[in-house]
Amino acid sequence: MNTAKYKVAILDLGSNTSKLLVANRSEGEKVEAIFQKSLPCRILLDLNDHLSEPILDRIIKTVSKLHFEAVRFYPARFFIVGTEALRNAKNSAVVRQKIFEKTGLRLKILTGKEEATGIAFGISSDPKLKNVDEFHAFDLGGGSMEIIEFSKSNLRITESLPLGAVTLTNQFISNPKLSLNEEETSSISQYISQCLKENITRENPCEILIGTGGSVVYLRKLHEFCNPLVSDGTTHAFTFKKSFIEDITKTICSLNILERGKAFHFLPEDRLDIIPSALITILEIMNFMEIDELTHSFHNLRFGIAANPEIMD
């Protein structure tokens, strides 16, 4: 059996955070992370759906930093991808050109279905989920949320919806520095619920719901902070109860941004304003899927591209 390994690097320009994965890929699509790093880089569009010069400069500086980190590992293949914010930017060609001039890399802006497919491959590469043949999943990003239904290597649903935490915060929360009022919370919940009902048709009941993305990572950190005696030393995937998510959502939404930072010191500044929208979204998709438990996976889009580089061709 061929067990040869080669290194791949994937740089993912998300709507709130840019992330790098350097990994070894071996026969059988097995992915072993070597190095990972994330940098805050919120990508906002102006009223004409353009990226301003300051935002363009921020993107290029962030890409340069992560590219510098990656090349130290001499990857055999290097991919750079963009998602929802860059999908919507009318001047995304400028980003492509600037990234190519700076790094020699060609940015690929993924379609929603390409992004969802990559996430599905990533989840399937998670060794803690190797015995899971059927699942529903979501990846909650800053600009969008990808929804997946996976059954015996068959992708039945791959949808990308404009339900990212930054998108919802900008749309529904008048002042993110304040605690949420009941009208804002209700508006977000109702909008997400309606969007899911109009766009997602489940072929099978949801038996396992898997969540990926930065917001789910920080939900996990919140759980660890609130339950310090619970051990994570297991070969099984990490799970959350819906009751915990409901309680922490109420707490977070009742605090203003300064109080959130003091109560949960590990939450970075670029998460403090969007964490309420993110938690409400997670609860609404659990309600939609009619499930009381959420499973977390670190194996996301970047792992999916590392496991299946051909999806980039």
Task: Indicate the domain borders of the chain.
Answer: 5-112, 128-297
Phi, psi of 204 (to 5 degrees): -130, 155
Look at residue 16 and tell me whether its pLDDT is greater than 90: yes
**How do residues 289-299 score in pLDDT, each as one tens digit?**
999 999 999 99
Distance from C-alpha of 281 to C-alpha of 299, rounded to nearest angstrom: 20
Architecture of the structural domain at 5-112: 2-Layer Sandwich (3.30)
Task: Evaluate whether 140 touches 213 at the Cβ level (below 8 Å).
Answer: yes
pLDDT at residue number 153 = 74
Considering the chain, what is the average pLDDT of its residues?
Answer: 93
Look at residue 244 and tell me whether its pLDDT is greater than 80: yes
Is there a shared CATH topology between the 5-112 domain and the 128-297 domain?
yes
Q: Fold for domain 128-297?
A: Nucleotidyltransferase; domain 5 (3.30.420)
**How do residues 135-165 score in pLDDT, each as one tens digit?**
999 999 999 999 999 987 788 888 999 999 9
Tokens 């939450």, residue?
267
pLDDT at residue number 26 = 81
